[in-house]
Structure 1
Amino acid sequence: MATGAGGGQPSVLSTLPKNLPLDFLKTITDQFSDERKIGTGAFGTVYMGLMPDGQIITVKKLAENSPIAREKAFANEVQNIMALHHENVVKLVGYCHEGQKKVVLNNGRYIVADIVESLLCHEYVPRGSLQKNLFELHTKMDWNIRFNIIKGICNGLHFVHSIPIVHMDLKPENILLDDNMVPKIADFGLSRLFGQEQTRMNTQNVVGSYGYIAPEYLYRGEISTKSDIYSLGLLIMETTTGEKNCPGKEPSAVQFIKNVRENWKEQRIASEYPLLDVDGLQQVKKCIEIGLECVEIDRLKRPSIETILDKLNGRCASIRN
């Protein structure tokens, strides 16, 4: 690997994602076999790729029928996270956008068509998603791990917002955990890159995950960093309570938020975390409060990611009673 002028750290160019040949990605995924499949989502199917040196990466084959055009999702991921290097953001290590000739059936006859495959390769994060670890495993995560996950997600989002990129799809499925339970924000397929002077934009094409979409985006197409703060609030409350935000017929999280606000008082916190000391119980209470502040209907009342980090790290005034 190339190194920088000082001969120590790798140069930025050497650490940027590589444009990998499609045949190579087929080889390392065993021709995209079912045995190598590790997940399927709205944007495509994820496979485990075994590199020649034994390193494992993930290869996401983007779907043609994803929520936004495949080329757009590909461009979002590659352009927006190409040079991102942060402990709490999944690293993009390679990509492929390659055409190949295929025989396809078209109006009753076979024709040779150019089919473009779009693929994204990321670092492999072994413990899987926060969704799986919070809601699908039988062992209950202890509070210290939960609190560190919350702080890690917030640190990652602070970095992303400083660029400034708005993620647009924060949810437990898009937070991955490594062997040490360090969280990494993943899936930037819906992300938006803002200009330096720009703080808000509008769109008529509202896409995202029901139950996590901020109301101003859902109903008016308004996008800002505060859109992510709304989703973050739900993530914080889910991680703290261990309860799942399950939107019903409505695409909002109104019922989940109402349940947390009404039920997660001091007595409930103490009964759910009986082994915690006073400081630990205060951390749980603080996370509930931060989560509820993040889901204010008026986006201007939501805290910034800097304020949230200050509160989590005890640098802010004491919480309300």
Structure 2
Amino acid sequence: MKKNIYILFIILLCGCEEYRSFPIFVLSSNIERICGDFYYDDLMVSPPSQLELKDSCLFLFRTLGVTAKVIKEIDGSDFGMFGNIGQGPDEFISPFYIGGNDSTMYIYDLTLRCVREYNLRNISDSLLFTKVEEKKLPSSDIVYHSAKRLDNGYSVAQILNGTSNLFLVLDEDLKIVSQFGENPFSNKISDMYPFWGYLCSHGNQFVFAAMRYGYIVSYKIRKDGSPVLLWEHYLSQPYYSIHKNILRWNADNLMGFYNVKMNSKYIFALYSGVEDTNSLEQIPNNLLVFDFDGNLVKNFKIDKNCGRLAVSEDNIVYAFYTDPDVGIVKYNLQDYLKN
């Protein structure tokens, strides 16, 4: 109550727009503590931007000056690298993995504004990457990242700048079909960087989890490219002010999600829930599992503070940690979750 009064006083003093209150999704108090298994090989890498599981391999994106370092799922041993980062032909500047299957990989480059498709083949215990196609993004005033390809041929992406909406839909030619998900604070904001977060998808459903506040939402994209809101949760009350259409977070906000992934049955999210201290303590050790309808299935307390995760179809979670050293931990959730 005191925090709400303080925020309202600052808003009135500064002439800012009044902030909204949101119903809070209360996490289950039934927290299960679990320990993971660790790989034996030391990982001499910096924290990756993404951790993805493909064809029994883990891809650590944007580390060691390459697009992805590849290690074997079975034991964490080195399996090679993919794609250089640089200014040369077929190199990347700011690559993001946006989807594919075990034999196909799509890479979106935010700076080069293109999507490249690659074919993957495992030949004589080595991975071969073959470029299939490159598509340039049509010119637009809207900047976005973290695109994800859906089964119906559309892609969804989080908007960073140019409109007050959170998301957009792209067709197979990367043309914008629609914008949706007006940000919940003001329709006058066009700088969407404060709403930065992570996307994951399965089939034609996707989930977005915000990093700077405890917001998670899921949509389905229809055949005509139109969105359907399935559910949304606020795990903490966002405190903010808006002055001259610029949003500022209050220092007392709780950090949100550091990563979110889906398999065919569950949604896995690394949730922080602590104040932003710019320290390792705010990196999550809380692993939440939701079903596709947004119901909380499990609330795990894990034994490492982890910022990236990948999940298998049989409910094995791989998570990247940095304290006290760097590595990947494996959590087998098969006994906790129904297949």
Same fold (TM over 0.5): no
1 or 2 for the larger relative contact order (CA 8 Å, sep ≥6)? 2
Q: Which protein has the larger Cα radius of gyration, Structure 1 or Structure 2?
A: 1
Looking at secondary structure, tell me which structure has more strand per residue: 2
TM-score range, shorter chain: under 0.3
